Amino acid sequence: MKKIISGNEAIALGFTDAGGVFASGYPGTPSTETLEEVARLGEVYCEWAANEKVALEAAIGASIAGGRSLATMKHVGVNVAADALLTLSYTGVNAGLILMVADDPGMHSSQNEQDSRNYARFAKVPLLDPADSQDAYDMVRAGFEISERFDTPVMLRTTTRISHAKGVVVPGEKLAPRIGDWQKEVPKYVMLPNFARQRHVVVEERMLALREFAETTPLNRVEMRDTELGIVTSGVAYQHAREAFPNASILKLGLAHPLPERKIREFAGSVRKLVVVEEMDGIFEEQIRAMGIEVAVGKDKLPLCGEINADLLRAALDGGEVAAPAPVEGLPQRPPVFCPSCAHRGLFTILSKLKVFVSGDIGCYTLGALPPMGAMHSVIDMGASISAAHGMAKVNTIAGRAQKPVAVIGDSTFFHSGMTGLLSMAFNGGDALVIIMDNRTTGMTGGQENPGTGRTLEGQPTRQVEMVPLVKALGIDNVFELNTYDLAATEAAIKKGLETPGPYVLIDRNPCILRYRIRKPAMTVDQEKCTGCRACLKVACMALGLTATGEKPKVRIDPNVCNGCGVCGQMCKFDAMHEIEGANNANL
């Protein structure tokens, strides 16, 4: 029966239908929904791992034990998992193993837009690049077959548009999960130098076999039309090329690594003008040019940054200009902000007031870098807040600067890769203040479970890791809990942490407002007392606005948005804000 599903949902269904046994991953846009859909289907065991490296390693163990396995992550997650991936290429697999990685061209929700096809070349493993939901479904089964035939992990690479766009999928035959036999094979799975040297030879021989396979597999498809223009492409770029040039001949590379050299040469020889269309890096173009094949248009006219589209392709090939989107007049600005009554708001209000250097991390709290707070000054990668703050503190000490840096990190990010940074800080006698925002969820990607939530991906109760004893076990003596809804107490706690020598940790345990509503009445403004000073607007709450009457507009509060946290009222020197008497919170 036909289904209309997203690329991520198609991969989940394909995994379930292809006899999958084990799936693990770490949430990250645009990959998150894949594992959530596996859990929703309820037929295959799946779990959130502490980070992407752990997810891939768990999938490796499942494969060795004889179960087809899947690891999911976004593109930057492969950086974390790379240590395992590059050695996995040497060991190979037992049962099939697929690494699903979702790239984010245009950086809709990412700190960079790296092209994961580079990892396939680096690790010397095959990579599949689906162009729609049907491809995504079919390539899971094809990926397992390739993995087991060639004793290799297989990368399945999507992009934001493939992961999130919906299309028609016709499911194939459903395979029952089966767990194969396994045996101890030390020369294959123990990568001591002597064994690794032997396995490297296997990797190179495997790549030669895969190149031959690439020449004949239907994953690489020629669509001959008008021979004036031939396009080599893959993934979502195929869709844009078809839309822009419906009459062009196309070589669609479903197996995007390794490339089929003979097929490419034959295709190039059959068209007058060869164009290579790919998002981000010019990986195909570089290899095709290295074959001695002339490329008429490639990255000389197509962008290396951001997404491509049909208009951009037409302009690049025809020499025209891309029409700018027509501006829409009268729309109010809507910058990204914290949710109403988010506990992060009070923290960054105080950090902004104290004018300290804040080393930030990846999560909702990264919004603290934006105006009007502007209270975050570096964000690099998951867990870097603590490590970077430690390095800064050491240089400050050497330079004689009396400035203790602050690191801000969320609970899921701390479990992911912040713990090692804090351990290193304790080990090396660091001098930074670390604030852990423990809102008991992985908030930025949609509220997924983590080791501190007490629930698994499948909704089962599990051991809830407590933050305070964990931090103490990492060697930190000064560990205190914090309530960021109390601005005066928050300011006092941060000042004490800054004044106390050595590593100092504050933990805010207020839960995510989207999961646990504050059960208080909404706030209102006494218009007689309000002076219009706008001090309360510094908390940047969506519930706050200005009246449209009077010479000096005053503040008003939308009771349909306000959750009653009271942070704005603590900013008011004129006692103009108070709870609506006898009212229940409008959002409960």
Strand partners, 276: 232
pLDDT of residue 513: 87
Q: Tokens for 373?
A: 């707070």
Chain center to CA of 536 = 33
- State the chain's mean pLDDT as an integer: 94
pLDDT of residue 586: 44
Q: Tokens for 43?
A: 């037929």
Taking only the tens place, the pLDDT of each residue in 141-168 is 999 999 999 999 999 999 999 999 999 9
Taking only the tens place, the pLDDT of each residue in 531-541 is 999 999 999 99
Taking only the tens place, the pLDDT of each residue in 40-66 is 999 999 999 999 999 999 999 999 999
Mean pLDDT to the nearest integer, 456-467? 94
DSSP code string of 92-122: --SS-EEEEEEE-TT-SS-S----THHHHHH
280 and 103 in contact (C-beta within 8 Å)?
yes
**Is the model's pLDDT at 584 over the cut of 90?**
no
Q: Is 46 labelled a binding residue?
A: no
For residues 34 and 19, what is the distance between their CA atoms, to the nearest angstrom? 16
Mean pLDDT to the nearest integer, 416-426? 97
CA distances from 358 to 41, 388, 389, 393, 560 (A): 42, 10, 8, 12, 33
Q: Tokens for 374?
A: 């502007």
Taking only the tens place, the pLDDT of each residue in 215-269 is 999 999 999 999 999 999 999 999 999 999 999 999 999 999 999 999 999 999 9
Buried b (16+ CB within 10 A) or exposed e, 330-368: eeeeeeebbbbbbbbbbbbbbbbeeebbbbbbbbbbbbb
pLDDT of residue 514: 85
For residues 110 and 118, what is the distance between their CA atoms, to the nearest angstrom? 18
**Is the model's pLDDT at 588 over the cut of 50?**
no
Q: Is 342 labelled a binding residue?
A: no
pLDDT of residue 337: 86
Q: Is 533 labelled a binding residue?
A: yes
pLDDT of residue 583: 56
pLDDT of residue 447: 87
Q: Is 512 labelled a binding residue?
A: no
pLDDT of residue 285: 97
Mean pLDDT to the nearest integer, 174-186? 93
Which long-range CB contacts under 8 A does 294-301 form with residues at least 24 apart?
A: 294/268, 297/273
Taking only the tens place, the pLDDT of each residue in 81-126 is 999 999 999 999 999 999 999 999 999 999 999 999 999 999 999 9
pTM of the entire structure? Answer: 0.94
pLDDT of residue 327: 80
Q: Please list the alpha-helical segments (H only) found in 464-572.
A: 467-473, 487-499, 567-571
Q: Is 565 labelled a binding residue?
A: yes
Phi (first) and psi of residue 37, to 5 degrees: -75, -35
Amino acid occupying residue 469: P
pLDDT of residue 257: 98
**Is the model's pLDDT at 365 over the cut of 70?**
yes
191 and 199 in contact (C-beta within 8 Å)?
yes
Q: Is 536 labelled a binding residue?
A: yes
Q: How confident is the model at residue 515 (pLDDT cuts 50, 70, 90)?
A: confident
Strands (E), 333-414: 358-359, 406-410
Buried b (16+ CB within 10 A) or exposed e, 158-181: bbbbbbbeebebebeeeeeeeeee
Other C-beta atoms closer than 10 Å to the C-beta of 563 total 23
pLDDT of residue 319: 78
CA distances from 498 to 406, 410, 483 (A): 8, 20, 17
Spatial CB neighbours of 69, under 8 Å, sequence gap ≥ 6: 20, 21, 22, 23, 24, 58, 59, 60, 62, 63, 95, 96, 97, 98
pLDDT of residue 582: 61
Q: What domains can you pick out in the chain, each with its CATH number?
A: 3-216 (3.40.50.970), 220-317 (3.40.50.920), 343-508 (3.40.50.970), 523-579 (3.30.70.20)
**Is the model's pLDDT at 318 over the cut of 50?**
yes
Sign of CA dihedral 108, 109, 114, 116: negative
Q: Is 305 labelled a binding residue?
A: no
